[in-house]
């Protein structure tokens, strides 16, 4: 049975890392073998690059440097995790993928879209998610969630969260524009609600688009 590639996208604090394993559990109950992974990260080399991207001062990299780092990590992630899982017939549920680069570094960071497209073609090729779920939440609410999470876990992965409300407002608009541009691939999911409510919305979206 052929595997499927599902990505979860959205701004900070929208619940992607919470919902990815919940979706995986739903797919497993339906009889699928599932690989849950994330970006940046998902393979040893990519996890090392993640540390460079999500910690430290917000200004430690400009958007062009971030783009190169993300695609270096993505190369490792694809070759070591995503493509092998799909080849084995597994379903891959990924917390962020290339749409995050388009939104963060392209739409908001101002990196030329052609530059990103060229790197994407060379690194990713023709691999496209079967379904992208864009978790949508007002940035004020998302940042508040992210702050609570960081305080509870003592996380230092807050570089992007500290980029300011205007950055995150533009980021939300970027993801919604991506969804509007590619409606055949993307579905916007209301991420406002408790974990179980949002999980049910995600399950309904997946069942609406994919035969599970």
133: domain CATH number? Answer: 3.40.50.300
Q: What sign does the dihedral 44-31-199-87 (CA atoms) show?
A: positive
pLDDT of residue 211: 85
The alpha-helical segments, DSSP class H, found in 38-78 are 44-54, 63-77
Average pLDDT, the chain: 95
pLDDT of residue 149: 72
Name the band, by pLDDT with cuts 50, 70 and 90, for residue 145.
Answer: confident
Structural domain for 146, as ranges? 5-209
Percent of the chain with pLDDT over 90: 91
pLDDT of residue 162: 92
pLDDT at 151 over 90: no
Average pLDDT on 21-46 reads 98
pLDDT of residue 174: 98
Average pLDDT on 40-56 reads 97
Name the band, by pLDDT with cuts 50, 70 and 90, for residue 141.
Answer: very high
pLDDT of residue 133: 98
Q: Please state, in angstroms and as integers, the Cα–Cα distance from residue 127 to each residue in 5, 33, 124, 157, following that order.
A: 9, 20, 6, 28
Q: How many residues does the chain have?
A: 212
Specify the pTM. Answer: 0.95
Cα–Cα distance, 114 to 136 (Å, whole number): 26
pLDDT of residue 1: 53
- The number of distinct structural domains making up the chain is 1
Helix (H) or strand (E) holding 114: helix 113-123
Is residue 141 a contact partner of residue 13, using CB atoms and an 8 Å limit? yes
CA neighbor of 122 nearest in space, from 171, 67, 184: 67
Average pLDDT on 17-43 reads 97
Name the band, by pLDDT with cuts 50, 70 and 90, for residue 157.
Answer: confident
Q: Please state, in angstroms and as integers, the Cα–Cα distance from residue 55 to each residue in 47, 68, 108, 161, 192, following that order.
A: 12, 17, 19, 10, 27
pLDDT at 172 over 80: yes
Cα–Cα distance, 16 to 30 (Å, whole number): 21
Name the band, by pLDDT with cuts 50, 70 and 90, for residue 148.
Answer: confident
Average pLDDT on 176-195 reads 97
């Amino acid at each position: 049975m052929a595997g499927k590639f599902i990505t979860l996208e959205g701004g900070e604090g929208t619940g992607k890392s919470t919902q990815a394993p919940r979706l995986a559990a739903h797919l497993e109950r339906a009889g699928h073998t599932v690989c849950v992974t994330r970006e940046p990260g998902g393979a040893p080399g990519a996890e090392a690059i993640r540390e460079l991207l999500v910690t430290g001062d917000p200004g430690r990299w400009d958007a062009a440097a971030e783009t190169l780092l993300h695609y270096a990590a993505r190369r490792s992630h694809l070759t070591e995790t995503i493509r092998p899982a799909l080849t084995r017939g597994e379903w891959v549920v990924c917390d962020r993928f290339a749409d995050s680069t388009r939104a963060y570094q392209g739409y908001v960071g101002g990196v030329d879209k052609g530059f990103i497209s060229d790197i994407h073609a060379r690194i990713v090729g023709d691999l496209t998610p079967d379904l992208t779920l864009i978790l949508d939440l007002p940035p004020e609410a998302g940042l508040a969630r992210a702050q609570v999470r960081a305080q509870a876990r003592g996380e230092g992965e807050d570089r992007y969260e500290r980029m300011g409300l205007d950055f995150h407002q533009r980021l939300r608009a970027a993801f919604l524009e991506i969804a509007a541009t590619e409606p055949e691939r993307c579905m916007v999911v209301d991420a406002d609600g408790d974990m179980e409510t949002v999980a049910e919305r995600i399950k309904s979206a997946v069942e609406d688009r994919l035969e599970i």
